[in-house]
Structure formats: structure tokens, C-alpha cells
Amino acid sequence: MAEDESRISIAKTFRVKPKLRPTSNKATPTPESKFWKSFKIPKDIEFTPSKSVIYPITSIAFSPIAPHDFAATHSANISIFSGKTLEPKSTIASAFADSATSAAFRCDGKLLAAGDLTGTVHVFDAKSRTHLRRLKCHSAAARLVRYPRADDKFHLFSGGDDSVVKYWDVTTETCLFNLLGHKDYVRCGDASPVSDDMFASGSYDHKVRIWDVRVSNSGSVMELNHEKPVESVLYLPSGGLIATAGGNFVKIWDVIGGGKLLYSMESHNKTVTSLCIGKIGKESGEEAQQYRILSVSLDGYMKVFDYAKFKITHSMRFPNPLLSVGFSPDCSTRVIGTTNGTFYVGRRKTKLESDGPGDVVGLGDVEVDPERRVIRPTYFRYFHRGQNTKPSEGDYLITRPRKLKFAVHDKLLKKFRHKEALVAALSGKNTENVVAVMEELVARKKLLKCVSNLDEEELGLLLGFLQKYSTMPRYAGFLMRFTEKVVEMRADDIKSSDQLRGNIRNLKRDVEEEIRIQQSMQEIQGIISPMLRIAARR
Amino acid sequence: MITGGKSLVSSPPAFSNDAKRLLVCTGNTVSIFSTSTGLQISELEGHGAPVTSVIIVPASTPASKVLCHCWTTSLDGKIRLWDFMAPELIRTIDAGFPIHSMVIPSLLSQQMESKGKSPNLFAYIYIEAERQREGQPNSSCGQIRKCNLTKSRLAGGVSLAETHKPGCISISPSGKYIGICETHKLRIWEIPTKDSDNTVYKKIRLHHTKTFTTLAFHPTERVVAAGDVTGRILLWRGVGHRTFSIGDKFINGGLNKDAEERPGVRGNDDADSCTTWHWHSAEVNVLFFSSDGAYLFSGGREGVFVVWQLDTGKKKFLPRIGSPLLYFTNSSDPSLSSISCANNQIHLLRMPSMEISRSISGIKLPNSVSDIYEGSGSSVVFDHTVGFVAVPTDNYSVQFYSLFNDREISEVQICERNHQPGDEATVKVNLVALSRDGSTMGTVETRLPEEGIGGFVSLKFWACGSQNKDFSLSTVIYEPHREASVSSIAFHPDCHMAVTSSYGGDFKIWVCTHDTHLKDQMLQSSGWRCHAVGSYKKKPMTAAAFSADGSVLAVAAEKVVTLWDPDQNILVAVIGDTLEPIVTLSFVGKSTYLMSASRGSNPQLTLWSMSKLSISWSYKLHTEDVTCSGDSSTFAVLALLPKTSECVASTEATLQGFDGAILLFNVENPVPLATWFVSKAQGGRLGFIQKSPRLPDEVTDVKSAHDLLAYMDSNYEYVLFNPYGKQGHNQSITRWQNLSNLEEKEKIGYASIYGELTEFSVEKDQTHIPHIPYEKNWETLFSGPSHKLAPLTKLCLDFLESSLERRSVTVE
């Protein structure tokens, strides 16, 4: 120990290091955004535009029963997709007289209901596609159809552009209650996950009403003012919170606490069209098995909102305006529908999937531990025994002093062979190192000396480098002036060589290009700056 | 009062005879360091001027090894003999002239002589004498004089040589020759073995075309090595065959060689041959022959220690010492020697392996080429709470130095770049700032451009983990103010906020943000971000300061002071108009006063009242530095004394080399509370330091609650005193006592190789044997026929056992 202390190093040697890059938040994704990014288009199925539909996808619903098939409504069709393979399984087309809306699965996944723009609510067998019931009572388009979520299999509710919410007994095709109260189109709603008798509906009169069919005659039990036409209503899994979307924002309400507004998430730039519940399907980690709100908007963004922390944890951009979103209950599939009929299906690779079919399991047992041979001094391995021993927990590790690895240019700089160091850096691949070596040479006041000593070939190398990088914003401040100096110093050599003249031509072209860019950027700045000034005044 | 920060490398150090102590000339005192721990253990105080040389009286016999005497010389003209273990003064000899160097040849030659009664002890001293010449009354010259130490007087009028400037005398290890370098020539004298008051010296000169810097003698042969300013080492062999050997009856063959047969020897110099070794790229400062004469050690400005094999000229290197080498000293222990470096460090060298075993570091001296950054402010800062000072050093780092302990604490590498000592400084750490609690450091480093390209400024924020000042880099900001350089950094007193002002006309407020999004992995990232940018009429911002509660930010925009709300970044008020740009701003404690200082042709020290937004009072003073105490409403100003005033002649006598004054003010009163005159004030710094609990607190009245004032002059020598108390009480005497215990006992012989033997007890073995001899056993033991007797080996044990008297069994 005393020996270690006494060994004082005098002066450390340093490598030539490039300037640090600014670290951005994107460089280190949080585990959560990693999770949301892990939803990728499966390789085996391609939702190419040709396969997708051409009409807006108005709603997406997942079956609550595995394998979690999902249904999507578009024009006068409902397409049902297999939850396992993500292939379109079947399409119900003939039943609808007009565009289909709002698909909804029953709690056992056996029945599928959907409305259409004529005001009819259709009920199908999800498997056989048999048209079982037609519930006709709405006088205008039925935009909202939902089954109760807990275990009520006999009722459903619907809302329509006639601003009435109806509660149906499906078996008899009768409307049990007409729930009146909305003053504009009812476009969305959701059933409570904990109670079969409660549901919420949102309307274009900016209100969200919560109904209880047990006290149906007295109108809505609660009224929430969203202050924008409500596009989507979502009961959060606890049943105590409601998320509403409308306009550019999503609001979270505490229903149990008397309809108090908890938070307003205002990060979308266009109308938020749909909400759904997402769940982080990871076993470990801080946020495992937590629920999130997925919101999609016409601005093409899907945002993941943590309603416990009131924070947006992930944000994803799509090239089209988004209309509907669905997330499978087993956390493996995420589907987004757009206005032009494209599906964005993302599937997460899970461990179950990778285990795959049974034959892989069979292979696992073949491998048997090879017999351990006793190592004798006659073996070469005898002399290496114990060298790979891993330290155990409590061991005090004495590490060998880390040896600095020096690059070629570092070694040459150490020997004060400046020009060779510059050439060595230039012939390397790393741009940052070249600039770092140049800066080091500046600090030694040797850079211009080096340039004057370069022979023609090396000068060509340098000019090639300068042409490539002198317009890059990171290095431009330094390299532009340096280029000027180089051209000035070696004008005669450049004139005499064809190749160097070629280099200079390229350089000139790049610089002109850059100047054009700068000019157009200045124009933009000229447009924007008065606007900013006006905005700042407000 | 505590003083410290003295240069350790003003003159060569010396090892004690047992090589356990190193005697270093530190200003007016000689500090004694332990070579095993590198800590100071005692001090020899007594000289009135800087000590220039220290010579240990060698131990001629093993018995006299305990003798710890040394001679010291000083610029005050005194030669003193000390017992440095006690430590006490034995004798004082007054030479009358400032002594720059001294050698005592007879001390060295005594070792070889028989132990006789040496009649007189002669020393050769290099003094600064006044030149007796008309016309130039004040010109001084160097003189080598002889001094009879036994009789305590200068030897009668003998002056060996007269030179332009006093320097250093070199002496051969045998004490036979002494020599000096004088510009282009070496002068060497032979010292007769029987030295007396009037002897005739044989002398020779050796010439060269370059200026010599150093000189060394071979221990046994007549070989002289000399280094010059260009880095060449000249090696003369057979020096002085003609002159010296006649008296010695020395048989030599090269006596009558022609000039052609003496290769390299210039003119009529008395040497057989001269060889030149040229490896050093700059001035050679160190030359030393190893004690066996086989190697020559050399070192110079480039900070590489070179070992030359004398016969072959082969080299071995100890590179990257990081600073110009100044002296090399060997000790009686062949494996221990020391190198003194220009950055105020003494490295103890383990010799054959050339390993640095320990370093004694003083405060790193200011950069000599820092003038190019004039105007960017001095960068030495004081840590108010723990009494540290942060000094930027040549090798792009910041040294933390404890003022109370006079010891280096740590060094933080600011810029990761290899430092070549000889180079022109193009990269420099030119601003350092510490937050009030010392947990955050901000540094600004500047790279100078080469012909207008490639220069940039980077601002770095450092976070400190523990009290030990091991700072780690938190944020780097390249070009914080575009191309403009930063004029000042100031930290918010409470929260993580800092402001940098630049000459480019804006200031930026930086805040520290903590992101702790990865809690499970314990990953914390914190960084400094720009919070706000402000400017005032595009004027260069020259200084910035936060008020004591952090609610007001004052930024000097050239000649006016702008006051801002740092959180909202709103301009609150603009006050004042000074004649010259303001260089320093500071809020006075918790009072409502702001102090500003400007330099230039119309220097001004102004106190602004924040409540009235107007000048309270002002002085025309050339202020070098200002400091404000943390809580009370006093502040201290280091002012340079005006040089061009007409009363120079009258005050000359009273000022005695003082060129600055420290003035202590209270905000209410423009009359200073106290004034001290100081020397070397140009570039000096002032700082209030919290009184450390470690200090012996002899004043226990109310005033002891006040801070101490630290003054550091341009050579980084500092003094720490209580500005409110009486002066003159010296607290440094008791400082080293606790340190001397730390010195470890050196192991010798077996223990040094294998470590201490564990003491094993013989008793332990005996207890296992149930062996109870009975009374008078020996009487019957041998009775009986011999063939029946037990073997002798058995009997012997019994016999001896029984013949010993048994101890009574009270041990249990």
C-alpha cells in the first residue's frame, strides 16, 4: 500500500482530444421511450399502402380476449385482423348502408358492434361475421357504440348526431333508455371499466356527461366541461379518472372527486382525435406494468402520457394525420389508423414469441456438459489455469494501470513531427481527430508552417478534407479561415497542378452553395423575426 | 499572523547526513522537510533576508553522524551555524555584504584527511559588493571573498575574482576546486590542501562562444562539464594539466600537446580535450556527476532529466517532469536525490530507477508570460470557507493550496493537453471562480489563435464531491460569448447560478439543471445551461457580481453599473458614470453598498449606495484588488502607491521598497480603519478567509469572530492576519509540532527488506509439555549403572531443568 502511494506520477500524458459534442436528450433514451420505440413493423407482414384501405380509418377496437384480434372501421366496412399474424382475416362489407363507425367488441370478444352514418347500430358475431341484430332508433348518424366493459353481455349504448345517447337491450333490439342532455353531436364515449352501469359520452357541445343507467331518469350524473368539441373520451383503468380529448389538448378529470380537472396536456398542435390506454408490458423496471394514455392527433404525432406524473414520456411522429389508435391488452401490438387509410401497425417482440414452436425446445436438451478434464502440468492450459477467474463480490480489485492508447498522430505530435502528424490525421477517417490535431498545431503555432511544408499529394489530401468539411457548421468557424489561409499560401502550387485545381473548383462550388443556403436562411430569418417580435409583445 | 507560500527553489536544497531530512531555503528561513513523508517538520528562523545557501557539515566519522550542523548564508550578510535538529543557532558571522553563494572546501576535503585539528575553516563566499569606481556610484558587482569561519572574519582583503553580477560558486566533490561561470568563460581555482589566510591560488579559464549557465566537477578526475544557454554540454577532460599538476607532481602525458592534438579546446585553454553533447533544446540548468564519476546528470528548460554515460555518451531519460529543472542534489544515501523544479516543486528521486518517490510542492509560481493576457484580471481566487487558494498553473491546471497548512491540497487538470515547459504559452486558464460554499468551480481557458485562426475560449463548470477539492468536470461550453473573451465569472451566493460577462457586449446567466430520470441506475446528469442573455447598449461588460442575498446582479458595462434581476433578467437600474472602465465590482457584505474599482489613467475606487442609487464616496486610487468580508460591512483594498507623485523623495526612506498598501474600510466611513504597507503589490491579491478552528485562538474576544485577511503578493508569498487585532503575534511557531509525529521511523537492515519480524514467544511452546521436575532431581538422576541410564540427550534436559530454580506458580 505504501508503495502504491509513493509512486507519484509527475505529469500525465494526454491524447489529442476532439471537442466534446453537445449531449442531447435523444442520445440517451429513457427505458420507457425504448419500450415505445420497440413497436416495429413486423418483417413478415407488410402493411404497404396497396394492402391498406383508401378511406379514413375511423375507429380501431381490440378484442379483450386473446389472441386479441382487432377490428377497424373504414368507409362502409369493418376489417377484422388476426391478432396473431396481423393479417386481415375478414371484412364485413355488405351490412352497412353508409360509412361504418365506432367498432366495439363485447367483453367476451364474441360479438362485435358498430354504428353507421344512417343511425343504425349493427351487431355481428365476431367469428362468423353473421349479422345478428340491427338496432335502429337514432335519427342521425350513430358515432358511438360501446359495450359495457366489465361483464354485462346484454346491453350496449350508442350515441349519435341526434345528440341522444341510447342504452340498448341487445337481445330484444329495444332501446331501454334515451339519455338526453347533450346539445350537439355525440361523437365519443367510453364505458367504465369497473361498473357495468356507468359510462361517459362526449359531445360537440364541449361537454362530457357521465351516465348511470340505474338513475337514468334524472339525466347525467356528472357534467365535465372540456371547452372544446370533445373528440374522444377514455375511462382510465382505475375507473376514477377520465381523459377527454378535444381541440389541441387532453384533459384528465377526477370523477370520484367531483369532476375536478387534474391536468390539461397541451402538447399537440392539431386536434387530438383519439385516445387509448397503453400499458408498459415489461416485467422489470421502474415503470413496468404501468398504464399510459396514448393520444393521436391530426398533426401526425402519437404521444404517450404518464397520467401519474403528468408528463409526456414519449412522442412519435407519423407522416399522416392520425385518426384512431388501438393498443392490444397484452401490450404486444399497437395500431394507428390515418385519414388516408394507412395502418401503422407496430408489434413488439416478446419472449413468448421468440421461444417459438416446439422444435426449438427439443434441441435444447441435446447439449450435455462436456466431461471436465483434469489439467496436468503436461498441458499447456495448466500454465494458464486460474487466469480467467472472475473476482468474487467482496474482493478488492487491483487494476493494472490503464494504458493510454495513442493514435499515430499522437505519437508523431509527441515527437514534434508536426507535418507528419497532420498528414496521418488527414489520412485517417475521423474528422473530429483531424480538427483536433489542427487545433493542437495552432496551440503550438505550427499549423501554417505545416501547410507550407506539405507536398503536392498531401496538399491534395488537405484540400479534399477542407472541401468536404469546411462548410459543416461545427467546424466552419475554424476551417473557413484556415481554408482561406491555405489557398492564399499555396496559390502557386495549386495553379501548377491540375488535380489541385479540381479540388479548388469543388471547394468553390461548395462555398457558393453554402452562401446560397445562408442567404435563404437570412431571408427566412427576416420573415420570422418581425413575427417573433410581435409575439413577444403580447 | 501566518506567512507562507515561499519559494522552495530559490537556492539549492541540502540533505542531512542521514538523508532523512532535506533542508530547503524558503525566504528568510530554512525549512526542514522529512524525506520519508515529504512534510515540513521544523524551521530555522533568524536571517533577516532571503537565505541563499545551506551547507551541511558532513559527518567525518560514523559517530559524528548524529551531529546536525549546518551553515547558512543570507542576503543580509550573515553567515550562521545552526544545529538544525534542535533547532537552534550556534554562531553568527557578519560578512557585511549580501552573500549570494558560499562553499566550504575544507569541509569536503576533511573527510579524506586524517583526523587532525584543522586549524582554520575557510569558506569562499560570492558577495555583492559595491564597485569602487567613479561615475557609477550605485553599481554593484560580484566578488568572491574568502572568509575564515573559525575566526569569524573575512580573510584579509583577498578577493579572488570580481564579476559583473554575483552568482553561484560550484565546488568539486573533493573540495579541491571551485569554479564560477562568467558569461563566456569558466574560471576555476585550485584550493590548496593546507589553506591559510594568504595563499596563492592557481587558476585557469576555459572559454566558449556561448554564455555558460552551469558548471560541474568530476569527483575524481580532472573533468569539467559546463552547460550553455543553447543546450550544449561541454566536457573538458584533463583540465589544468599545465597549471595545476606541477605543484601536485602529477605525471601526465598531455602536458605539451599542441593545439591540434587537443580536439575542441578553444585557444590557449588548459585542457586536453573538449567534447560537446547537444541534446537539450534550451538552456541547461542542471549538471551533476554521479558520485562514482561514471554518469553525468543534466537537465534544463524542457523538463527532461537526462543521464549520460560518461564514457559512451549514451543517454537515459526521465521525461515529463513538467517544468524547467533548476537544481540537483544528492544525498549520502546513494539511492536518494532531489530535483528542484521551477514550478516550486522538489521531487525526491529514487536513483537507479529514476523514479519520483515523493514530491514536496509549494505554491506554483505565476506564469512569467502571462502578460499577454493583461486586462483579463488576475485569476487567483480564495476559498473563503476552508482557507484554500486556487492558483492556475502553467500546465493548464488549478492548484489548491491550503493557506493555513502551507501545503498543496490538490491539483485539478483544467485542460487536457500535454505541457511542454519551454513552449510559448498559447493555452491558458485565465479565469477561475469558486462558488461561495466551494462546491462549484468555473474556469475559463483561452487558446490563442495562430495568425487569426483557431483561437477559442471555453468555459468549464466543475463540481466538487468532497472537502478534498477533487473537482470533476460538469459542463464544457465552447465559445460562451461567440468569439469574445470572458471578463469575469461570478457565482450566485445560494443557488446554482453563475454569470459570465464578456467584452463582446453581453453577459449570460447560467443555471445548473439536474436531470435524474434514471433513478434505478443511479445515473445523474447535471449540466449548466444558459438561462438568460443580457446586454446594455452593446457596451463591453467588464465585471459582474451578485449581491449577498442573490437578488441583485450588478454588471459593469464599461463605465456604468447596470443592476439586473437575475431570475427574470430584467434591467432594474443603471447607476453611475466612472472615468475609466470598471474592472472590479463587489457588493460589500450584507450591506447595501456596492464597490467598484477602475484602473487606467484616472483610477477610481467608488462606493455606491444601493438604497440611494448614487455614489457614497470615492477615492482616486489605483486599485489592484478588492475583497469584501462575508457578513460585516468592511472591505479591504489593495492599492498601488503612486509612483509619479512629487513626494517620492520624501517618502522613499519610510517606504523601504513597499509599493502597495492595504486599506481596510468600513462602508460608513471613508477614512480607512487600518492601513498596512506591503511590497510586490503589483499583481497581488487580497481575500477574507474564515478563521479556521484549527488555529490556536489566542484572542478570544468578540473580534475573533471576524475573518482573517489574506494578502498574496505577486510571487504568491502570502501573509494571513487578523485585520482587527494587534499585529505581531506569530502563530506559526506551533504549527509543525503535530506534523513531526507523522514522520515514520525508517527501517534498516533486515527489516528494510523483509519487514518487521513478528515476536514469537518461546514460552508458548513450553506450556504444552507437562514437565514437572521434582526437587533435587539432579541428585538421583545419574545414580545407577551406566548401562541403565537413559540416553544423555534425555537426561541433559532433565538435569538442566532441575538445576534451574522453579518459579513459583503465581503466574496463573
Cross-chain Cβ contact B452/A481 below 8 Å: yes
Residue of B158 and B87 predicted with greater confidence = B87
Is residue A190 within 8 Å of A164, Cβ to Cβ?
no
- Does residue A8 register a pLDDT over 60? no
- Does residue A24 register a pLDDT over 50? yes
Residue of B755 and A412 predicted with greater confidence = A412
pLDDT of the residue at A47: 55
Per-residue pLDDT band for B770 (boundaries 50, 70, 90) equals: low
pLDDT of the residue at B24: 92
Is residue A177 within 8 Å of A216, Cβ to Cβ?
yes
Q: What is the per-residue pLDDT across B715-737, written as a single tens digit (0 to 9) for each?
A: 888 888 887 765 544 443 334 43
Is residue B683 within 8 Å of B366, Cβ to Cβ?
yes
pLDDT of the residue at A528: 94
Cell of A389: 477467474
Nearest-CB residue to A442 (from B359, B453, B478): B453
pLDDT of the residue at B293: 87
Mean pLDDT, rounded, for A45-69 = 75
pLDDT of the residue at B152: 79
One fold for B51-109+119-333 and B576-728: yes
In A, minimum Cα distance to B476 occurs at A20
pLDDT of the residue at A345: 85
pLDDT of the residue at B760: 58
pLDDT of the residue at B110: 59
Cross-chain Cβ contact B347/A445 below 8 Å: no
Please state the separation of Cα B204 from the chain's center in Å. Answer: 37
- Closest by CA position to A156, among listed A119, A194, A200, A106: A106
Beta bridge partners of B718: B4, B712
How near does any CA of chain A get to the CA of B36, in Å?
Answer: 9
Q: What is the per-residue pLDDT across B424-466, written as a single tens digit (0 to 9) for each?
A: 778 888 888 988 888 889 999 888 888 888 888 999 999 887 6
Is residue B414 within 8 Å of B398, Cβ to Cβ?
yes
Q: What is the per-residue pLDDT across B135-189, written as a single tens digit (0 to 9) for each?
A: 555 567 788 888 888 887 777 666 777 888 888 888 888 888 888 888 888 888 8
A478 neighbourhood in chain B, CB within 8 Å: 453-454, 456
Class of domain A407-531: mainly alpha
Distances (CA, A) of B358 to B36, B355, B363, B747: 8, 9, 16, 18
pTM to 2 decimals?
Answer: 0.71
Counted residue by residue, chain B has a size of 812
A230-235 and A222-225: which strand pairing? unpaired
Location of each CATH 1.25.40 domain in chain A: 407-531
Neighbours of B245 (CB within 10 A): 18
Per-residue pLDDT band for A251 (boundaries 50, 70, 90) equals: very high
Mutate to test the interface with A, among B37, B360, B450 (most CBs of A within 10 A): B450
pLDDT of the residue at A3: 36
ω before A67 within 30° of 0 (cis)? Answer: yes
The three-class DSSP label of residue B284 is strand
Cross-chain Cβ contact B417/A444 below 8 Å: no
Q: What is the per-residue pLDDT across A397-443, written as a single tens digit (0 to 9) for each?
A: 888 887 888 889 999 998 889 999 999 999 988 899 999 999 899 98
Cell of B411: 491539483
Residue B519 at interface with chain A, using a CB cutoff of 8 Å: yes
pLDDT of the residue at A298: 92
Q: What is the per-residue pLDDT across B788-799, written as a single tens digit (0 to 9) for each?
A: 777 777 777 777
Mean pLDDT, rounded, for A281-287 = 74
Mutate to test the interface with B, among A442, A451, A479 (most CBs of B within 10 A): A442
- Does residue B653 register a pLDDT over 60? no
Using CA atoms, how far apart are residues A342 and A48, in angstroms rounded to an integer? 8
B320 neighbourhood in chain A, CB within 8 Å: 10-11, 13
Cell of B500: 459570465
Mean pLDDT, rounded, for B361-369 = 73
Q: What is the per-residue pLDDT across A106-154, written as a single tens digit (0 to 9) for each?
A: 888 889 999 988 888 999 988 888 888 888 888 888 989 999 888 888 8
- Closest by CA position to B509, among listed B484, B485, B544: B544
Mean pLDDT, rounded, for A346-353 = 68
Residue of A151 and B509 predicted with greater confidence = B509
Residue B804 at interface with chain A, using a CB cutoff of 8 Å: no
Location of each CATH 2.130.10.10 domain in chain A: 31-347
Matching residue, cell 528521486: B349
Matching residue, cell 469546411: A470
Cross-chain Cβ contact A442/B395 below 8 Å: no
- Does residue A258 register a pLDDT over 80? yes
pLDDT of the residue at A518: 93
ω before B87 within 30° of 0 (cis)? Answer: yes
First to last CA, chain A: 68
Class of domain B51-109+119-333: mainly beta
Is residue A419 within 8 Å of A450, Cβ to Cβ?
yes
Using CA atoms, how far apart are residues B803 and B779, in angstroms rounded to an integer? 10
How near does any CA of chain A get to the CA of B456, in Å?
Answer: 9
Q: Where would I find the H helices in A367-417?
A: 408-414
A31 neighbourhood in chain B, CB within 8 Å: 518
B417 neighbourhood in chain A, CB within 8 Å: 14, 440, 443
In B, minimum Cα distance to A20 occurs at B476
Per-residue pLDDT band for A366 (boundaries 50, 70, 90) equals: very low
Using CA atoms, how far apart are residues B52 and B343, in angstroms rounded to an integer? 18
Cross-chain Cβ contact B517/A30 below 8 Å: yes
- Does residue A7 register a pLDDT over 50? no
- Closest by CA position to A99, among listed A142, A158, A60, A51: A142
Cell of B792: 544423555
Is residue B44 within 8 Å of B30, Cβ to Cβ?
yes
The three-class DSSP label of residue A147 is coil
Edge-to-edge strand ranges of the sheet holding A291-297: A272-279, A291-297, A301-306, A311-317
- Does residue A355 register a pLDDT over 70? no
Mean pLDDT, rounded, for B359-371 = 72
What residue spans define the domains of chain B? 51-109+119-333, 576-728
Residue B374 at interface with chain A, using a CB cutoff of 8 Å: no
Nearest-CB residue to B453 (from A13, A444, A482): A482
In B, minimum Cα distance to A416 occurs at B420
Counted residue by residue, chain A has a size of 538
- Does residue A516 register a pLDDT over 90? yes
B751 neighbourhood in chain A, CB within 8 Å: none
A414 neighbourhood in chain B, CB within 8 Å: 418
Using CA atoms, how far apart are residues B788 and B775, in angstroms rounded to an integer? 22
Is residue A462 within 8 Å of B469, Cβ to Cβ?
no
Nearest-CB residue to A19 (from B359, B426, B478): B478
Which chain A residues touch B if contact means CB-CB below 8 Å? 6-8, 10-15, 17, 19-20, 23, 28, 30-31, 285-286, 414, 438-448, 477-478, 481-482, 485
pLDDT of the residue at B286: 92
The three-class DSSP label of residue A261 is strand
| Mean pLDDT score of chain B | 79
Lowest-confidence region among A95-99, B58-62, B362-366: B58-62
pLDDT of the residue at B729: 43
In B, minimum Cα distance to A444 occurs at B426
Nearest-CB residue to B427 (from A13, A17, A443): A443
pLDDT of the residue at A252: 92
Q: What is the per-residue pLDDT across B258-305, written as a single tens digit (0 to 9) for each?
A: 555 677 777 777 788 888 999 998 899 999 999 888 999 999 888 889
- Does residue B609 register a pLDDT over 80? yes
Residue B426 at interface with chain A, using a CB cutoff of 8 Å: yes
Cell of B130: 559595491
Is residue B204 within 8 Å of B180, Cβ to Cβ?
no
In A, minimum Cα distance to B37 occurs at A6
Tell me the angle at which helices A473-489 and A456-469 cross, rounded to the nearest 10 degrees: 150
pLDDT of the residue at A514: 92
b/e burial code for range B284-314 (CB count within 10 A of at least 16 → b): bbbbbbbeeeebbbbbbbbbbbbbbebeeee
Residue B450 at interface with chain A, using a CB cutoff of 8 Å: yes
pLDDT of the residue at B328: 92
- Closest by CA position to A57, among listed A333, A331, A321, A334: A321
A17 neighbourhood in chain B, CB within 8 Å: 416
Q: Map B281-298 to HEC letters.
A: CCCEEEEEECCCCCEEEE
Is residue B172 within 8 Å of B191, Cβ to Cβ?
no
| Mean pLDDT score of chain A | 84
Cross-chain Cβ contact B424/A445 below 8 Å: yes
Using CA atoms, how far apart are residues A521 and A501, in angstroms rounded to an integer? 30
Tell me the angle at which helices A456-469 and A418-427 cross, rounded to the nearest 10 degrees: 50
Per-residue pLDDT band for B309 (boundaries 50, 70, 90) equals: very high
Residue of A488 and B419 predicted with greater confidence = A488
A28 neighbourhood in chain B, CB within 8 Å: 518, 525
Cross-chain Cβ contact A485/B417 below 8 Å: no
Using CA atoms, how far apart are residues A492 and A457, in angstroms rounded to an integer? 15
pLDDT of the residue at B745: 47
Lowest-confidence region among B66-80, B481-495, B768-782: B768-782
Lowest-confidence region among B246-255, B562-571, B719-728: B246-255
User: Under 8 Å CB-to-CB from B504, ≥6 apart: which residues?
Assistant: B481, B482, B483, B484, B485, B540
Is residue A189 within 8 Å of A165, Cβ to Cβ?
yes
Neighbours of B476 (CB within 10 A): 15
Beta bridge partners of B499: B490, B509
Neighbours of A447 (CB within 10 A): 24
Residue B320 at interface with chain A, using a CB cutoff of 8 Å: yes
Cross-chain Cβ contact A286/B322 below 8 Å: no
- Does residue B474 register a pLDDT over 50? yes
Q: DSSP string of B590-656?
A: TSSEEEEEE-SSS-EEEEEETTTTEEEEEE--EEEEEEE-SSSSEEEEEEEPPSS-TTHHHHHHHHT
Tell me how many residue pairs between chain A and chain B have CB atoms under 8 A apart. Answer: 81
pLDDT of the residue at B756: 61
Question: What is the sign of the dihedral through the CA atoms of B30, B34, B38 and B42?
Answer: negative
How near does any CA of chain A get to the CA of B420, in Å?
Answer: 10
Is residue A261 within 8 Å of A277, Cβ to Cβ?
no
- Does residue A523 register a pLDDT over 90? yes
DSSP label of B455: -
How near does any CA of chain B get to the CA of A415, in Å?
Answer: 12
Phi/psi at B498 (5° precision): -140, 155
pLDDT of the residue at A49: 47
A482 neighbourhood in chain B, CB within 8 Å: 453-454
Matching residue, cell 457614497: B616
pLDDT of the residue at B779: 64
In A, minimum Cα distance to B361 occurs at A10
B527 neighbourhood in chain A, CB within 8 Å: 23
Residue of A298 and B105 predicted with greater confidence = A298
Per-residue pLDDT band for A360 (boundaries 50, 70, 90) equals: very low
Q: Which architecture does CATH list for B576-728?
A: 7 Propeller (2.130)
Mean pLDDT, rounded, for B6-18 = 88
Mean pLDDT, rounded, for A263-272 = 90
Class of domain A31-347: mainly beta
How near does any CA of chain B get to the CA of A517, in Å?
Answer: 21
Neighbours of B784 (CB within 10 A): 10
> What percentage of residues in chain A have a pLDDT greater than 70?
90
Largest CA distance in chain A: 98
- Closest by CA position to A276, among listed A226, A236, A218: A236
Matching residue, cell 334524472: A218
Please state the separation of Cα A129 from the chain's center in Å. Answer: 35
First to last CA, chain B: 60
Residue of B47 and A21 predicted with greater confidence = B47
- Does residue B247 register a pLDDT over 80? no
- Does residue A362 register a pLDDT over 50? no
